Amino acid sequence: MHQDMESVLEQLRAKGLRLTPQRVEVIALLYQLSHPTAEQVYSLMAKKFPYVSQTTVYSTLKLLKDQGIVNELTYGDRSSHFELTEDEHAHFNCKVCGGIYDVDVKEAEKLNTMIKTDEQFEVDFVRVEFYGTCKACLTA
């Protein structure tokens, strides 16, 4: 479960970062959308802020990523997708519709602990991905 929007904004304030209307809107859109691309965020931003540039959206997403508020999900030749940082979870990627779904995987932390016991590694994070066909595409 991700933190509420006010605590995200407070994190930015505490780090001395300005809360511009554009930054606040990017964060709001990340709460509303499921794993959007930067292009999707920009498209919706442009409706509310007609003069916003793609550069503003990309730099805001990068800033949020650098601050640990947003995760960037990359999939080879596909566009990056973004999500608010949450508890450990996996992703299911539908090969038919391209949808990305969160999957609760409580065992991921066990994997992290297991590899930490081997002193040859220091784990920054664990990323578990599943690929297949989602229920909606199976029944279509």
Annotated binding residues, written as ranges, equal: 94, 97, 109, 134, 137
Closest CA to 53 of 39, 37, 65, 64: 39
Annotated binding residues for Fe cation, written as ranges, equal: 109
Q: How far is CA 56 from CA 21, 31, 38, in A?
A: 11, 18, 10
Annotated binding residues for Zn(2+), written as ranges, equal: 94, 97, 134, 137
Beta bridge partner(s), residue 72: 82
Q: How far is CA 92 from CA 15, 68, 88, 89, 105, in A?
A: 33, 22, 14, 10, 11
Token pair for 46 = 């442009």
